[in-house]
Amino acid sequence: MQTLRSQLPPGSPRWAARLAHWRVLGLGPDALDKPKIAVVNSSSELAVCYSHLDEVARRVKAAIRAAGGVPFEIRTVAPSDFITSVGAAGGYILSARDLIAFDIEAMVEGAQLDGMVCLSSCDKTLPGHLIAAARLDIPTLILPCGYQPSGCCHDELVDLEEVFIRATQYTVTRDPALLQWVTECAPDAVRGPGVCSGLGTANTLHMLAEALGMTLFGTTPLAANGPRLWEAVERAGYLIVELVRRDVRPSRILTPAAFRNAITLLLAIGGSLNAVKHLQAIALAGGVPIDVFAELEARYDTVPLVVEVRPNGTTRIEELEAAGGTAACLGVLAPLLDGSARTVEGKTLAEHLAAATATPSSPVLGTLEAPKRPRSTLMPVRGSLAPRGALIRSTAWVQERAGQVFVGRAMVFDDQQEILRAISEARVAPGTAVILRGQGPRGQPGMGLTSTVAFALALSGLADSFALITDGQISGLVNQGLVVAEVTPEAVTEGSPLGLVRDGDPIRIDLAARRVELLVDPAELAQRPPYRPARPRPRGWLGVYSQLVRDVRDGALVEPS
């Protein structure tokens, strides 16, 4: 008979306590010897992305019981970019990813449960789930729970991303027509539960989890509450019990080969910039020896863009699902992938692709020979201003200028509102390299979203003549202007070039060479005092986070370095 880690010596105090507790919960003595499965749920009434998860959990638990397991539902913090970003300048968004992982650790390790099904929804839940899975290394299945249906306004399709774009534009321009549109159309942008319908961080991570082999093959992206989700729920409940019985751990799935496959897919779909740090955090949590940013650099020139889902193009996520979703994308990319990577279903990626039902050709998908674009919309850069790397959202606007070199003088800011005032007062001249620092995971803390500044610069008439360089993050919805984001090391790090920049310093950005340079003698930089942000250190969770969070190139993972 299989020995489970959840089984305690009969007659021991904790065995007896479980017998007493679980009888009241409707479980008999036989439950003590069955596989005990955590159903990780981030259900919340604050955000629609989580509002359907209680029903998902109910059905998963029923399937686990039918398979001979005992499910225990546990709850975690439930961050939503559009809802819980109001306080602390958005600092509770990225930082909550690690709280999710710690929530899971406390409950699953504390109770020594045998496996997990993680109900992944909004942006930070899936990477939080995979960080916990990699760290705990117990049998785990990731269950992406689908995207939300979009709405219609003024006889046009509208989604939450479009509302975000126009609301941000209104914040900058104060155009009454934009306010009227947002007021009328925001209530119709979302017609049901699930994650944002574009290729934002959530759908990107759902797809990458499949490329990593941690989900059921062929199940991303999918519509929330649709028939494909309920079919996946049923399969997941049975499979997790089998994974526990066969002791299939994440360390057998999350290999360097699996990460390289996920990185290749990330480039090919032009996924969220956030995915780069999330993949690195998962790798570090599991002790997987891979440098995600370096792998991104190595593959950038050989992996084309094979699909243009919003915001990269006009393709809707529903169209990608109908064209075969992640499985179809992986099929296109097969010559660039490591087919030997194993998945939770016991097959290799190559075996899955060979067994996959052929999807009719679709104009949604390009090929390696005839891609949508020759390069990804996710561009890695390095240089003396970003020695550990930075990212550029290589939109069509940027790609049209790929052969150009930007040279400008730095104008340094430590606060986003200061930039907005400078723009409104016409103090930002053409050819300016706007430096916004102190926005990284330690400097913010929690990492600042700098999209409003990028929109303001683009809408001010400077779109063709400015660069924004920041250690904060940027939304993929920003599609004009040259924005270098997530510069590392962040400004508050000792010796960070970004922290040493002064007004008037010459900056050079060469898109063809993927270089961002600070043209100041290193000897002069060495004489400059280190950057010290004016804001006080926060208390509570964000104070703890700022002390323990690692550099973005280390995944912004919260753990001692």
Q: pLDDT by residue (tens digit) across 429-456?
A: 999 999 999 999 999 999 988 888 988 8
| 291: its two tokens | 């440098």
Question: Which residues are 411's β-sheet partners?
Answer: 434
For position 459, what pLDDT does the model report? Answer: 83
| 561: its two tokens | 């370095």
Question: Which residues are 515's β-sheet partners?
Answer: 382, 510
User: Which residues, other chains included, contact 521 with Cβ-Cβ below 8 Å and sequence gap of 6+?
Assistant: none
For 94-108, the pLDDT digits (tens) are 999 999 999 999 999
Is the model's pLDDT at 474 over the cut of 70?
A: yes
As a whole number, the mean pLDDT across the chain is 94
DSSP letter, residue 108: I
Count of C-beta atoms within a 10 Å radius of residue 3: 7
Domains, the chain, ordered by start = 28-149+195-355 (3.40.50.2300), 153-188 (no CATH), 381-535 (3.50.30.80)
CA distance 420 to 454: 10
Nearest residue to 115 (alpha-carbon basis) of 146, 139, 89: 139
User: Which residues, other chains included, contact 179 with Cβ-Cβ below 8 Å and sequence gap of 6+?
Assistant: 170
Question: Which residues are 373's β-sheet partners?
Answer: 305
For 512-553, the pLDDT digits (tens) are 999 999 999 999 999 999 998 877 888 899 999 999 999 999
CA distance 300 to 164: 29
Q: In Å, how far from its chain's centre is CA 504?
A: 35
For position 508, what pLDDT does the model report? Answer: 97
251 included as an active-site residue: no
For 273-329, the pLDDT digits (tens) are 999 999 999 999 999 999 999 999 999 999 999 999 998 999 999 999 999 999 999
| 339: its two tokens | 């087919």
| 294: its two tokens | 């370096």
Is the model's pLDDT at 182 over the cut of 80?
A: yes
| Catalytic residue of the set 460, 475, 496, 546 | 475
For position 123, what pLDDT does the model report? Answer: 92
Mean pLDDT of 389-405: 84
The label of the residue with tokens 């090391």 reads 489
Is the model's pLDDT at 1 over the cut of 70?
A: no
Helices 201-212 & 274-285 angle (0-180, nearest 10): 40
Is the model's pLDDT at 357 over the cut of 80?
A: no
For position 166, what pLDDT does the model report? Answer: 85
Position 404 confidence tier, pLDDT thresholds 50, 70, 90: confident
Lowest mean pLDDT among 44-58, 98-112, 163-177: 163-177
CA distance 168 to 170: 5
CA distance 23 to 21: 6
In the chain, pLDDT over 90 holds for what percent of residues? 80
The label of the residue with tokens 């949604």 reads 364
Count of C-beta atoms within a 10 Å radius of residue 130: 30
Is the model's pLDDT at 397 over the cut of 80?
A: no
| Better-scored residue on pLDDT, 336 or 466 | 336
Q: In Å, how far from its chain's centre is CA 371?
A: 24
CA distance 197 to 213: 23
For position 407, what pLDDT does the model report? Answer: 95
State the number of CA atoms in the 13 A half-sphere of 13 facing the CB: 0
| 271: its two tokens | 């996924």
